[in-house]
Structure 1
Amino acid sequence: MALIWIGMLLVFGGMVLAATRTMKRGRLSEARSQTATKRPDTLEPSGRGSRLSIKADLPGLGLMALGALLLLIGAFV
Structure 2
Amino acid sequence: MLPMWSAVLQELNIDVCDVESLLVQCILDNTIHGRIDQVNQLLELDYQKRGGARYTALDKWTNQLNSLNQAIVSKLT
TM-score of the pair, normalised by structure 2: 0.32
If each structure's helix is expressed as a fraction of its own residues, which one has the higher value? 2
Q: Give the number of the structure whose alpha-carbon radius of gyration is greater.
A: 2
Higher relative contact order (CA 8 A, sep 6+): 1
Structure with the largest fraction of strand: 2
Q: Scaled by the length of structure 1, what TM-score is found?
A: 0.32
